[in-house]
Chain A
């Protein structure tokens, strides 16, 4: 029994060898060199043609696109809300006041992020009139100044640590850019601590107002130098609080066309983050 099996194993091995290279017929993997050449040539031509066709259709499609405005914007009718700096893990700002390395990354990020908002950087931008939308029709689009001073304590001008070293960290909240979005009313970012006994929340500019002059946004290509309006949130822990940990929820308010209560999208017009500060 074993003998026959062994033989068949040898046979199959020999068959495989013969399949890989058959010297009598000059076949490699069941095909002669000519056969291989032909089939490879065929697929080369075939795929070459397909690639050319695909490239052409893609090129043609790209030609139909407008460089300034995407063809459809119905997938993002309402902006999401996001915080900055972005913690590595979930939206939890955990650091220790006494250990600068635990918050240095946050402050570094904030500094770098706010650099374009400095007066120096914005000197070429327009000083737009407050309270009204800054509608433009081109061909040259101007960007409005967003003076960093609006962020007051969180501007980084007076306090280069953005309050982190004092246990009063600043976190920037920004509304996602959407081309030609025009909010109704006077949009503002309203932030609340889940537990008011533990922390007080301050927002800059006052009441978290976002001026309408920063709308509408005209897109990366046209609206060069656009400064996204920011709202800074500073968490001030009550001195009585034993545990310096609070969950903060921010929402867009004051505007009827900006949604903030979507069941599925937890970031549509709102954002929740947690701040934990230890000594």
Chain B
């Protein structure tokens, strides 16, 4: 038996027998466990419940709930306690100890553990054969272990911190639900809704759980996020279909109620809801490694290989040169420690966290740290249209009256100042019809909000008209008060028009019939038309003009409405009872006034952002469920299809030849219809993706989105995908970076995505791309900086072994550099601002443009590192020479130098040194070598700030560095003066007050 059935049917029956559904949690767990093994098909079949077939009494009995008063508070508490909150379980996360162990033993840690182990081994061997064992090895071992532990804990802490940020984001917007308990309506948190709760849902709400409807008034729900159907569906208490997904008396968790109200009983909550099951399915999809994770792994392998290779080579070399086993092991440790940039991984984590925070400030919330960088290497963006590229708000775009097309202002802030002749009488009529024959209304208490941003009730086109009239004509409410409505026929899909009859303010006894609707339908009603306020009988010329205008506006992808009116004859004056069911008034020979067309206009920032993507070599593909013409129009207006390019159909139309005769090579843009896509195999899709630079997919289903993403990935692109519905989540998961919408996105899509755009704006993606590239650049800089010091760290060992000179740099000192002086500057490079070419170069090729490539290694190791090493060695030789050991005498001195029993070693001047004196000398040299590295690293830090730009261009105002110099001089002068006086006057006032 399938667990789903078990849950859907068996369990409730058991509940029926026992008053409380005690068994529920058990089956839930079982269910969860089994769920993982299922694939999509099985889960689809699993949607199997019988609640929709029950009568209300049965339902009431099954959930032991009163259908008018709801649960008692106590019962609700109890059920909540038993079943747990009504929320989707987040996908199973890796347990904390595994994460911790990953930090402890992943990456370089293993290499360092080996080093530490060798240290302890060397110490214990030493201890066994030599009573006065050198403790240095023990200390080094302890230090190495501490280093691994501390950096591991630090990385773990950083990671848990960033995942906490994500947790808090999930709880950012708690949703409310209206439930009835003890006969009282109360607003509670959605996650407190329990099984059997009596819930009320009204238009605009998100459904809080799976609900069996018991009563409804004109309730329509939008199931698109669940089933992909974009048309709102009506809901009623009657069971209309066997299949629970099809029946009309069940509404589903996380879908939206578009209009009307409904009351019902909760039949499943949380993960048991239909949505919950799909959500857990998508979370089961495995994700590939993020590119930066691949890069860092590649880098770790490279460095480890170099470290092990060098270590082992010199291990054997030193054996051949006659050093003891123990010495060779110590060399091995030294070389490993010198090669591994211990602090780097912590630096990388910090860099990523920083960027994630910065992105959040720019309205991109990043879920996976590494996703930031992925966005930077994105080469293709598959973007939604609605809400992402557009404002998601129908707006009047064009008007056609007096035989002229006028353009309206569609920008978000109403700033273009486009206008049209408002003095025309035709406009007066048009505005009046648009305002009065309109059921949309502003929601109350929004006086302070700009008209364009006010919330409205009603259909999108009507709202657009309402706002347009409010803005460019007059207050609609006032108009409606003065011209009261006496009768109306609402719009429906069969008649395709809307009619209303109003008393007129300028002639209070007369009625005017106003009508709006599909233009061709409207034209059929009309026998005359209005031109500059005068009525003219309809003629062929007018009809042709009308057709042209209709085609023109429709061709721009706009939704066109026609408007007409009729002054009713005097026998229908005030007091006449209109009957809209059996028409008792004339509704013909109307006068045509004009057309108004609407579109969801692109966001203001989008064309610019698309242009930036172009410059940055990123291909923007529009994937939309919308009509091809609308899609193309928007694509053109935002630049996804650039002005210079035209599609095959357009070119054919222009050249007046059939599409098949065109030279397809010159065509760079294409609009692909979803139904064509359905018939394509992957080769054909690849061909389209490869040959066309500007692609729009229209009328696509969310499933096809997945196919498109996979196609792009087959061609080696790194794909970013935007999506908001639940059905988008497989595509979001599949994409290299899934981007969910913060406002319109469903919870499931947010869960599947790597990044969430809090403002739903495409331009934010571009900001994200820039940030992503920036982090990659800055990481490169940071790594180049850190790696450079490896050469001056390792050459001392090599020279020590090859030239037999006293050791110029100790192992502990190397750790001081890697974990101390190099770490903070490396992190500081994460704050570096972008260079001028950041959005002008092509996206990196993930196969060849590695984070750490041979050019970076060549630069860091081969060039700058060598100079640094020379600096260190120069200091070293200077110090030894100035103290008596000249460079040439040092060569080959090592065996004598390190001989603890040789206490009269002669220097170049004939002086003799004890072992301890030599060692103090050697430590002085090591300190100076260390300081030399620190100083040359200053220069390295400054040069690493940029890769292409000149430093002077990149905000390095060198002259500002010198501002403090006079003050430094003052410090010297002041303090030397003070000390002079103290020396001259011992015990004086100045000494008492300032001698410390």
Interface string of A194-218 (1 = CB under 8 A from B): 0000000000000000000000010
Set of chain B residues within 8 Å of A53, measured between Cβ atoms: 870
Set of chain A residues within 8 Å of B862, measured between Cβ atoms: 43
Taking the complex as formed, is A19 at the interface, i.e. its CB lies under 8 A from any CB of chain B? no
Q: Are A219 and B910 in contact (CB under 8 A)?
A: yes
Q: Are B904 and A220 in contact (CB under 8 A)?
A: no
Complex Cα–Cα for A75 and B901 (A) = 19
Q: How far is the CB of A61 from the nearest CB of chain B, in Å?
A: 5
Taking the complex as formed, is A62 at the interface, i.e. its CB lies under 8 A from any CB of chain B? yes
- Interface of chain A residues 10 through 60 with chain B (CB within 8 A): 43, 46-47, 50, 53-54, 57-58
Nearest CB to that of B887 among chain A residues?
A58
Known interface pairs A71-B882, A219-B910; A267-B877 also in contact (CB < 8 Å): no
Nearest CB to that of B873 among chain A residues?
A54
Known interface pairs A50-B870, A178-B912, A219-B910; A82-B903 also in contact (CB < 8 Å): yes
Q: How far is the CB of A27 from the nearest CB of chain B, in Å?
A: 14
Interface size of A by Cβ–Cβ distance < 8 Å? 44
Q: With a 10 A CB-CB cut-off, give which of B874, B882, B924 has the most chain A CB atoms.
A: B882
Taking the complex as formed, is A163 at the interface, i.e. its CB lies under 8 A from any CB of chain B? no
Set of chain A residues within 8 Å of B867, measured between Cβ atoms: 50
Complex Cα–Cα for A113 and B569 (A) = 143
Complex Cα–Cα for A267 and B177 (A) = 87
Taking the complex as formed, is B187 at the interface, i.e. its CB lies under 8 A from any CB of chain A? no
Q: How far is the CB of B401 from the nearest CB of chain A, in Å?
A: 68
Set of chain A residues within 8 Å of B886, measured between Cβ atoms: 62, 65
Complex Cα–Cα for A43 and B915 (A) = 41
Contact among A71, A86, A178 for B911, CB-based, below 8 A: A178
Taking the complex as formed, is B866 at the interface, i.e. its CB lies under 8 A from any CB of chain A? yes
Q: Are A271 and B912 in contact (CB under 8 A)?
A: no
Q: Are B910 and A79 in contact (CB under 8 A)?
A: no
Q: Are B912 and A70 in contact (CB under 8 A)?
A: no
Complex Cα–Cα for A70 and B921 (A) = 14
Interface string of A238-278 (1 = CB under 8 A from B): 00000000000000000000000010111110010000000
Set of chain A residues within 8 Å of B901, measured between Cβ atoms: 86, 90-91
Contact among B866, B881, B912 for A79, CB-based, below 8 A: B912
Interface string of B848-891 (1 = CB under 8 A from A): 00000000000000110011001001100110011110110000
Q: How far is the CB of B315 from the nearest CB of chain A, in Å?
A: 26
Q: With a 10 A CB-CB cut-off, give which of A68, A81, A90, A176 has the most chain B CB atoms.
A: A176
Q: With a 10 A CB-CB cut-off, give which of A54, A69, A73, A217 has the most chain B CB atoms.
A: A54
Contact among A43, A54, A65, A265 for B870, CB-based, below 8 A: A54
Complex Cα–Cα for A264 and B900 (A) = 12
Known interface pairs A43-B862, A65-B881; A177-B903 also in contact (CB < 8 Å): no
Taking the complex as formed, is B969 at the interface, i.e. its CB lies under 8 A from any CB of chain A? no
Known interface pairs A54-B870, A70-B883; A80-B909 also in contact (CB < 8 Å): no
Known interface pairs A61-B878, A62-B886, A268-B916; A75-B910 also in contact (CB < 8 Å): no
Taking the complex as formed, is B913 at the interface, i.e. its CB lies under 8 A from any CB of chain A? yes
Q: How far is the CB of B895 from the nearest CB of chain A, in Å?
A: 14
Set of chain B residues within 8 Å of A61, measured between Cβ atoms: 874, 877-878, 881
Interface string of A132-170 (1 = CB under 8 A from B): 000000000000000000000000000000000000000
Contact among B873, B877, B883, B915 for A72, CB-based, below 8 A: B883
Contact among B874, B903, B904, B914 for A57, CB-based, below 8 A: B874
Set of chain B residues within 8 Å of A72, measured between Cβ atoms: 882-883
Q: Are B904 and A82 in contact (CB under 8 A)?
A: yes
Contact among A58, A177, A267 for B910, CB-based, below 8 A: A177
Taking the complex as formed, is B907 at the interface, i.e. its CB lies under 8 A from any CB of chain A? yes
Known interface pairs A82-B904, A176-B911, A221-B909; A65-B882 also in contact (CB < 8 Å): yes
Complex Cα–Cα for A14 and B902 (A) = 58
Contact among A47, A71, A82 for B912, CB-based, below 8 A: A82
Set of chain B residues within 8 Å of A80, measured between Cβ atoms: 903-904, 912-914, 917
Complex Cα–Cα for A176 and B916 (A) = 13
Complex Cα–Cα for A221 and B902 (A) = 23
Q: Are B909 and A75 in contact (CB under 8 A)?
A: no
Set of chain A residues within 8 Å of B884, measured between Cβ atoms: 70, 73, 75
**Selected A-B contacts with CB under 8 Å, 23 pairs:** A50-B867, A54-B870, A58-B887, A61-B877, A62-B886, A65-B882, A65-B886, A70-B884, A71-B882, A72-B882, A75-B921, A76-B917, A82-B903, A176-B912, A177-B911, A178-B912, A179-B911, A219-B911, A220-B910, A262-B916, A265-B915, A265-B916, A268-B917
Q: B residues bordering A, Cβ < 8 Å?
A: 862-863, 866-867, 870, 873-874, 877-878, 881-884, 886-887, 901-904, 906-917, 920-921, 924
Counting from the closest, the 5 A-B pairs by CB-CB distance are A220-B910, A80-B914, A265-B916, A176-B912, A82-B904
Apart from A46-B863, A50-B870, A54-B870, list 15 A-B contacts with CB within 8 A.
A43-B862, A65-B881, A69-B909, A70-B884, A70-B909, A75-B884, A75-B920, A80-B914, A86-B901, A178-B912, A219-B909, A220-B908, A220-B910, A265-B914, A268-B916
